[in-house]
Amino acid sequence: MSDILPSFICFEGLDGSGKSTQAHLLACELEKRGNSVFLTAEPTDGAIGRLIRQVLRHEVRTTDQALALLYAADRNHHLYNDEDGIIRNINDGRIVISDRYFYSSVAYQGNTVDGQYVRMINTYPHPEYVIYIDTPVDVCMSRIDRRGEKKELFDRTEFLRKVKASFDSIFSSLPSAVRFLHVDGRTSIEEQKEKIISFVSL
- Give me the mean pLDDT over the 134-161 stretch: 79
DSSP annotation string for 24-79: HHHHHHHHHTT--EEEEESS-SSHHHHHHHHHHTTSS---HHHHHHHHHHHHHHHH
What number is the average pLDDT over the span 139-166? 79
Mean pLDDT for the stretch of residues 110-114:
91
pLDDT of residue 150: 63
pLDDT of residue 1: 42
Q: What is the pLDDT of residue 151?
A: 59
Alpha-carbon gap, residue 103 to 72, rounded angstroms: 11
What number is the average pLDDT over the span 164-176?
94
**Nearest one of 199, 144, 184, 178 to 4, comparing CA atoms:** 178
Q: What is the pLDDT of residue 201?
A: 78
Q: Does residue 202 have a pLDDT over 70?
A: no
- Mean pLDDT value of segment 44-69: 94
**187-197 mean pLDDT:** 97
Q: How confident is the model at residue 148 (pLDDT cuts 50, 70, 90)?
A: low
At 82 the pLDDT is 95
Question: What is the rounded average pLDDT of the residues 125-143?
Answer: 94
Q: Please tell me the predicted confidence (pLDDT) of residue 157.
A: 84
pTM summary value: 0.93
pLDDT tens digits, one per residue of 70-88: 999 999 999 999 999 999 9
From the list 130, 183, 121, 117, the residue with the least C-alpha distance to 4 is 130
What is the mean predicted confidence (pLDDT) over 94-123?
95
Query: What is the reported pLDDT for 58?
Result: 87
User: Residues with Cβ < 8 Å from 3, sequence gap 6 or more?
Assistant: 125, 126, 175, 177
